[in-house]
Structure formats: structure tokens, C-alpha cells
Structure 1
Amino acid sequence: MRFEVPATAQIHDLASGQVYSAHQIKQRMALWQELLLGYGAQRIALAADSSADWALLDLACLDADLLLVPLPTYLSDSQRAHVLAQLEPDMYITDQDQHSSEFSLVEQMGDLLLYRRELQSSGAAIPPTCQKITFTSGSTGQPKGVCLSAQSQLDVAHSLLKRIDQQAPKHLCLLPLSTLLENIAGIYAPLLAGGEVWIAPDHVRGFHGSQLNNTAALLSLISSTAPKSLILVPELLQLLVMARAQGWQAPASLQFIAVGGAHVSAALLQQAARLGLPVYQGYGLSECASVVALSSVDARQSTAAELECVGTPLAHRDIEIIDGEIVVKQPFLGYLGDAQSASDKVFTGDLGELDAQGRLRILGRRKNLLISSLGRNISPEWPEALLTQQGFIRQAVLVGDAQPYCAALLYLADAKAAAQLPAYLAEVNQQLPDYAQIKAYRLLTHPLSVADGTLTANGRPRRAEIFKKYQSEINSLFVSNHVGESYEFLSNAG
């Protein structure tokens, strides 16, 4: 077997209440393999809510080196059609009935329905060593399929075991299992350590698609399961910090909260530390099978310099900085349908530096750089992280390319608090050099979201889509000497 299941490993399904022992995990994996190989499955698409069945199917495919393509449930119809047209799967596995002439139901395993598809073509070429294709929404355009080998995923899982070194881990999966970070760090790593993995569907976690719409359900789930570890994106960390500040008691069992997916401000990490949350910063990308670097010290014990970094590279990683860009020296199989994208190095597009201790600091995205009309380079992630660090502002997008000053689109956590905004922005501006200060802002009436195409799956702004959708609002922020109802101008923000 490629994936060795230790005797103490368990998977808990919080929807059904079923607990799978190590023996049952191996049995279920073998059943999946027998079924899929019996049908001669070659390209398997999986579109389903998080569940133990999802995880067991994924493990079976990893172990047998069968190509699996997990699809996020929040993809739009056009995105899903694009993915299927590229992939041309011969097996489509889902937890929803399919009413289409191209699908034929052939089996059911647990809550998952197995459909065969009549192929129209052979689909895009796939590298021979590819075992998984993970689709990332990216910052623009249609989802891109990142081709990964089984070994690259297992290398990350084993390196995480060494870095985290947690005895008898008990992990609660809060991100969708189709999220590569949760897939590898939330399922593979804890199981390989002989630990427990607890899995709940969207509604039990308080989610609807990619959006959290029931905070109480999420907090209740964390409290009732008492996990040792969680994986969060920055917005979920901010939510936990706010809940903790308002009296929610995090379970004493919590030992490790990993946060990644987007930039996290040092101030938010300090606030989490003051509230007793054991937060570890990390950095990664799909092209590198997720995690590249991870802190070995939690925010409560970190120095100011450590909080500015995302930790040191994992044991099997080799990183260099080329022209200011973070480059990971590892083979990349390429993107689905783009054989020319294969490479022996991954140019991440992230600007960064390594300090004297070998810790990695992220400075922003190369393509996101704003260049003011005065010639100043500004990474928007920096002011955006400061704006959202206290939870007062839920979302922020900096604008101002080729303009004399910076402005921002803002969505407040509580619209009633708008009167406090000028004073808060003045505080934020004191932490920024004059060329990066926010001189004007526009309040959004609706949050940015994956559903409307303005956010990626891990919460990063899709800037091209945002600029397109809010072009008139952004333009109005830079009309000289004009103050109208469409925006606010901070005359004292300098």
C-alpha cells in the first residue's frame, strides 16, 4: 500500500455518527479500489459535500494511484462545464442525483452515487504521473487544474508530521475537503500520525457553499468536538478572535491552529495570542501540493520578527529568491491541458525574502503591485491586512494604481459602526507611510464572495473581477476635489 494506516487511526463522520477504525478504513479503501478498478475508471471526478465517504474515496485513489479530481461544490454551472469539458471524466461521483442523458447511475457506496459518462473525446492530456488534479479559482478567468503526483502530496504530509510533532492528533476539518490544504494537512497528516479526523458536512459547520452563514454552529462544533488542531483561512481566524473577545471559550484541548491561504497581519496574530489561541502561520500553493513553509512556534511565544514571517520551509523544501520572487525548487507536472507549463521549478508569483534564520517573509504578489503616479510601489496586501486586523472591517481591497494616492473598497462587519470608521482609518494610516495611506474609501453594501466571482476559494480578492464590477465606484474615488454621496474622503488622513 502507498498509504499506510496506523492501528490507532480513526475517521469520525459527524453527520452519521459513524466512527471508522483503522481496520474499517483499510476495508473501505479496498472496496473502493475493487469497485473503481472493476469499472476500469481512469479519470474520476468527485463533486460532493465533506463526509467520511469523501475522505475514504480520496484515500483509496491515492493508495492505488488512481486519478481523482475533487471539484469544489461552489463552482458555478459554467465553471463546472468548463472543468468537465477539459477533463472528460469517465466516472463522476457525487452526493446529488444527476438528471442528464450523459450520466448513467451504476453504483452507490454510502452516500455517494457513481455515474458513468459516455465520453465525447479523450479530454486534455494529463501527465502520466498525475494522481490528483486540484482546481484553483485563481485570481482571474476559469478554474485551472493543477496536476499533482501522489508522492508530492505524501511528501508534504510526512514533512508536516515532523514539523508539527503532535502526539495522538485529533483534527476537526473546517475547510471543505476539496480544499487541498485541508485534504493533505487535515486528512493525510493526522491519519499518518495515527490520529483522529473529524468530518462534518457544510450545514453542520455553519457553511452554505463557500460562505459561512451560521457562526454559532461553527463555534458550537469546535466546542463540542474539542479538537487538538484546526486549519483556518484568515477570515475564520478573525471570526474566532472576535468570538473569543466576546466571551466564547475555546476548548482547552486546542494545541495547534494553522492559518494560511492569504496574508495575515501581525496585529491579528498578536490579538489571537493575547486571547490564548495557539496560532501557527503557514504558506503554500497548489502547484507545490499545498504547504511550503510553516511556523514551528505559535504566536503566543513568537517575537515580533517571527510574527512577520510564515515560518521556515518544510524539511523537503528548497527555496530561493530570484529577482525578489519566491521560487520553490521542485518538479511541477503542469496544468491540465497545458503541457508547456511543466517545470523543474515553481515560480510562485509571490514576493518574499529569507531572513538570517531561514524564515520566509511574504511581501505581496508581484502582479498585485500598485505603482502610484509618484512612482511608489505598494503591495496592497499590507494595508489590507492592517485594515481588517481588528475585525471592524471585514473585507478591504486597496486601489490606486497610477493614481496620486491610495483608496479602498470596504465592507464592514457591522454597518451600524460606519460612524467610527474615519477615526479607525486614521489609526491605521498612522502605521503606514504617506504613499500607502488610505485617503478615500467606498463602503460596499454586499460582501465580496466566491459566488459573485470576486473572491477565490481561500478568500483572496480576485482583483480583476473586482475592478471590473466596481469600476465606476473606483473611478469616483479619484475625481479631484469631488466629495459626493458615492464615497467618503478623509481630509485628515495624511
Structure 2
Amino acid sequence: MQKLFQVLRSRADFFPHQTALVTDVGDHQDLISNQQLWQKIASVAAAFTQAKVQCLGLYMDNCSEWIICDLAAASLGITLVPIPLFFTPAQVGHLAKSAQLDAIITKQALTLALSTNEHLGFTAANNAAAKLLPLTDTLLLPLSGDYRFDGETQAINDINAVTKITYTSGSTGAPKGVCLSSANIAAVCEGIEASMVQLPVSDHLCVMPLATLLENIAGVYMCLLRGGAVITAPLATLGFVSNVEFDIEKLVNKIALHQVGSVILLPQILKYLVHAANTEVLAQCASLQFIALGGGKTSPIILQQAIALGLPVYEGYGLSECCSVVSLNLLQQNKIGSVGKALPHVQVSIAADGEIIIDGQAMLGYLGELKPVPEQIHTGDLGYIDADGFIYVSGRKKNTIVSSFGRNIAPEWVEASLTSSSTIAQVAVFGEARPTLSAVVVASNKNMLAIQNAIDECNKSLPDYAKIHHWLLADVPFSTQSNTLTSNGRIKRENIALVYEDKLAALYS
């Protein structure tokens, strides 16, 4: 990450009064200049040095303080572990113990959630030892050494080589820690930067949680590298209501207010934007030059509608094990339905069974696992590369449905088609060893006729073997709390199948 810090130092020296960070807190905005950012990184780094910490958790909503603490830790080689706010208390405890955190950085309003978490083992002594960092309302909460080391957790990775540990939600409730080096992060930043040279420098609005590796690297780091300002705001003020509800008007208002040039969106948020688009909304989004899409498969129908509306949408692909972005559509090369060409820092190939394999950008390993890190990352995703080098992702290898007629079907393809409807908010498709497909549907309303009409409309564009013949309405939306949704919005298919096992079986009886 040496280049990033060189750029930040140069920005402070040559453009000291230019804005680097903006936190929108509703009634006012907190602006931090290039010079102030450099000074704050140094002062926070000094506080970390004094505290003698080696591994820190970061538990905050989106704000400038999150970014400053992240950069201060990286400048010292301290391992930083972003903690998603939606993690359950048990998941936070698992993360803290497995990473052997020395302390957690947080805001005053969040200290109660941490101090009362029985899985963290906070004591009165821990609370008394809390230190104010030289940032607005930002605390360093130490964790008990006796609690952290339980004799079972053995992080075999050399923690001194680990810049960041990002936790991914698997099919079980226990997140896995992906260990990333400074070289990993630098390679991704330089790969994206080299591909974005034709895009004018602009300000970036962080729409995804900063604890998400994609936003952290492709959003924050890239914007700072390219000379723009990073704008943050509490996620609720950007439109996040729940896992299946999003107030697109709030996001559009923020985009217009700050005249931002780039955002990173999940497919579901793009869907809300497309369905809400009218003359006024499009005028409010006129400053956008680049809308990057990640975190899941985007419906080609929604992409086509977005492009027809004049929205600059570009789908990409990546995974935590490769330090986020692997490929991306760009201004000069964009194919709807693809995830773009491989960026310069990686090589992508397709195995004989269709699995996507990535070379040149492997993680250091999973925290605490003894398995050696392979030079090639077998992604578990199925896809192909066309004659022009564009990569297409069709679905997960382990998710492939084989019907009783021997048809291989990627459920993600069918799900992307279904969720292009404004009626269907979430869906999980099943049908292993069955003659036809079925679906568990989360709808924007419970009008059964409207849902059936939406499915019928979707079926018109699908071949016979991929049509939905049976469906049932989910009892509750898929969510991280119910362990039916991952941190980046992907459904946990196995868990949903277990919850609705009997009801799905009944559809075929």
C-alpha cells in the first residue's frame, strides 16, 4: 500500500486545502482536507503505537473516522479486522476470538452493544481502560488477554504479514477470516487504477458498508488514489431500511446533494433505482459517471433497462480470497451480461468442468487453517470466456441443479430473471432430481395473483426446463439475522432449503 500513502502525502503537500473526506451527518457536513487527513492518520497511528496493539477490530457505521483508523493501522502494519454491524453477538465474539483482537475501535453509541455482548467477555476493567482516540467520539476498547487466548484458537498465519482480515459468511453461521497482505491490496488498487485512466477524477459516495472489502478497496482506496473526495453517511440515511427494503429516494437525494461521480451498488439497489427512474430521478443522478455493480449476479434485463435510461452501469466480479475485484466492465469495453475482462493484476482461466480459476492474486490463507495456500484460486463459480476475453459467470458449481431429466441448471440465472420484476424482492430456486423447478419467494407485497403474474412473465423468457412450475411464499424475508443471507446480500441456499424442506417437498406431492 506504499503508493497509496505516497499519494496521500503528495495530496497533503501540494493540495493541502482540497477536500479528501466528507461525512454527511444530516444537518451538517464534516469536511476533512488533504492536509488534515494526513495529520489525523499520523495522530491516530501515534495513539495505536502508545496502546501497543497488533490486531484491531473496527466496529462503526460509515464515517470518516472509520477510514482514518483503517489507514492509520495500515501505515503501521497493524492488522485491521472490519466488523460488520449486522453480525450477531455470537459472530462478533467468534471474530474477536479467532483473530485474537487486542482491542475494538468504535463509537460511543455502539459501546453498549459491545460491552453487553456475553461472547466478548467485557468486564468493568475493560470499560475503565477504554481510551479516547484523537478523533470525534471514537474509542479504543481493549479486550482481555485471558479471554482472547483460549488454547484452542491457533492463528497459524504470520499476523505481522497480515494487513487486513475480512470475514466472509459461509453456509454456516461461523464466519471465516480471509487474511490479506499489503501486497494483495496494492495489486488490486493498481489493477483497477490502470483500467480507469480514461475516467475523469470524481468524488465517490460509499453506499455499501465500509466493512465490505469491495467498498473499502474499490471505493475508498481507489478514490483517494485518483485524487477524489470520499463521501460517507450513516447507512440508514442512504436508504437502508432492512435486508429487503431500501428507500431509493434517500440515495438519489444524497447523489444529487454531493454531485458524486461514482458509486458501488448491489444488484438489488440498481433494481430499485431502475424501477424508480423518471425525469426527476435521472436529473438527480446526472453527475454519475460510473456505477459499479458487485456482490451478486445482476439481471441482464435490469442492465439493459439501466443503459436505456442512460445510467452508466458496469458489472464486475471478484471474491474476498482474491482481495476483491478480479474483472470489471469499463467505459471502453462493456458487454451486458458479462463481468468484464480480467484486470491486469490477475489471470483468469476456465477448467474442464467450467469452473473459473484465478492466478496471480491469492490470499495469505484462511485464519487458523493449516492448509497451504494454492497458487491458483478455484472460485467454485461456473462460467466461460468469450472470444473477446469477456468473462461470464453462470452460477455456483455446488449450486448447479440437475433435474430428473438430466438438465444442468444454474439457479442464479433463473433467480436473476425473477428478481428483475418489481414484485419479487428475493427468491431461491430449487429442483434437484425433480422434473421441474420450484421457488421460495419474498415479495414486495403478498398479492398472490401479482406474484403468479410476475413468475408467468419471467417464464416467457426461459426455456422449458428452467421455468418455475411451483412456488411458495417465504414466511419472513431472507436476512443475515436468520442466517439465510450473506453479508454481501447473497442467499444462503442450503439454509433456506433446510427451513422450507417440508414445504418444498409438498409442492411436488
User: Please, what TM-score do these two structures have when normalized by structure 1?
Assistant: 0.91
> Residue 56 of structure 1: which of 62, 65, 68 is its match?
68
1:134 deviates by 0.4
CA contact (8 A) 1:332 1:345 kept: no
Q: Does 1:155 align with 2:187?
A: yes
CA contact (8 A) 2:424 2:454 kept: no
Unaligned runs of 5+ in 1: 480-494
> Residue 462 of structure 1: which of 492, 495, 506 is its match?
492
What residue number does 2:221 align with? 188
Q: Does 1:145 align with 2:177?
A: yes
- Aligned length, in residue pairs: 473
List aligned pairs for 1:277-316, cutoff 5 A. 277-297=311-331, 302=334, 306-316=335-345
With over 3 angstroms needed to count, the CA separation of the structure-2 counterparts of 1:154 and 1:391, relative to structure 1, is farther
1:112 deviates by 1.6
What residue number does 1:391 align with? 422
**What percentage of aligned pairs have identical amino acids?**
37
Q: Find the aligned partners of 1:313 and 1:227 in 2 and give their Cα distance.
A: 26
Q: Find the aligned partners of 1:219 and 1:454 in 2 and give their Cα distance.
A: 29
Q: Kindly provide the amino acid, as one letter, of the partner of residue 153 in structure 1.
A: I
1:212 deviates by 4.6
1:251 deviates by 2.3
Structure 1 stretch displaced more, 311-320 or 289-298: 289-298
CA contact (8 A) 1:282 1:294 kept: yes
Q: Find the aligned partners of 1:183 and 1:379 in 2 and give their Cα distance.
A: 30
CA contact (8 A) 1:332 1:344 kept: no
With over 3 angstroms needed to count, the CA separation of the structure-2 counterparts of 1:142 and 1:341, relative to structure 1, is farther
> Residue 130 of structure 2: which of 101, 105, 110 is its match?
105
> Residue 84 of structure 2: which of 59, 72, 84 is its match?
72
Structure 1 stretch displaced more, 465-474 or 113-122: 113-122
With over 3 angstroms needed to count, the CA separation of the structure-2 counterparts of 1:188 and 1:13, relative to structure 1, is same
> Residue 457 of structure 2: which of 400, 421, 427 is its match?
427
List aligned pairs for 1:189-338, cutoff 5 A. 189-207=222-240, 212-245=245-278, 248-249=281-282, 250-297=284-331, 302=334, 306-323=335-352, 324-330=354-360, 331-338=362-369
CA contact (8 A) 1:202 1:209 kept: no
With over 3 angstroms needed to count, the CA separation of the structure-2 counterparts of 1:370 and 1:87, relative to structure 1, is same
Q: Find the aligned partners of 1:401 and 1:389 in 2 and give their Cα distance.
A: 24
Q: Does 1:380 align with 2:411?
A: yes
1:18 deviates by 1.5
CA contact (8 A) 1:91 1:116 kept: yes
1:52 deviates by 0.2
Q: Find the aligned partners of 1:9 and 1:295 in 2 and give their Cα distance.
A: 29
1:213 deviates by 4.9
Q: Does 1:10 align with 2:20?
A: yes
With over 3 angstroms needed to count, the CA separation of the structure-2 counterparts of 1:18 and 1:421, relative to structure 1, is closer
User: 3-state DSSP class of the match of 2:476?
Assistant: coil
1:9 deviates by 5.8
Q: Kindly provide the amino acid, as one letter, of the partner of residue 360 in structure 1.
A: I
Q: Find the aligned partners of 1:13 and 1:186 in 2 and give their Cα distance.
A: 15
With over 3 angstroms needed to count, the CA separation of the structure-2 counterparts of 1:208 and 1:433, relative to structure 1, is closer
CA contact (8 A) 2:178 2:363 kept: no
More helix by share: 2
Q: Find the aligned partners of 1:297 and 1:139 in 2 and give their Cα distance.
A: 36
What residue number does 2:503 align with? 473
Q: Find the aligned partners of 1:151 and 1:212 in 2 and give their Cα distance.
A: 37
Q: Find the aligned partners of 2:481 and 2:279 in 1 and give their Cα distance.
A: 30
User: 3-state DSSP class of the match of 1:373?
Assistant: coil
Q: Kindly provide the amino acid, as one letter, of the partner of residue 420 in structure 1.
A: A
Deviations 1:32-81 (A, max 9, x none): 11111121111111111111000011111222221000010000011111
With over 3 angstroms needed to count, the CA separation of the structure-2 counterparts of 1:210 and 1:386, relative to structure 1, is closer
List aligned pairs for 1:126-145, cutoff 5 A. 126-127=157-158, 128-145=160-177
CA contact (8 A) 1:258 1:282 kept: yes
What residue number does 1:443 align with? 473
Q: Kindly provide the amino acid, as one letter, of the partner of residue 115 in structure 1.
A: L
With over 3 angstroms needed to count, the CA separation of the structure-2 counterparts of 1:208 and 1:47, relative to structure 1, is farther
Q: Kindly provide the amino acid, as one letter, of the partner of residue 308 in structure 1.
A: G
User: 3-state DSSP class of the match of 1:421?
Assistant: helix
Q: Find the aligned partners of 1:214 and 1:424 in 2 and give their Cα distance.
A: 22
1:341 deviates by 5.0
Deviations 1:76-116 (A, max 9, x none): 01111111121121121111225330733123332221012
> Residue 55 of structure 2: which of 18, 43, 68 is its match?
43
Structure 1 stretch displaced more, 313-322 or 103-112: 103-112
User: 3-state DSSP class of the match of 2:281?
Assistant: coil
User: Please, what TM-score do these two structures have when normalized by structure 2?
Assistant: 0.89
With over 3 angstroms needed to count, the CA separation of the structure-2 counterparts of 1:415 and 1:51, relative to structure 1, is same
CA contact (8 A) 2:208 2:264 kept: yes
Structure 1 stretch displaced more, 31-40 or 200-209: 200-209
Q: Does 1:173 align with 2:198?
A: no
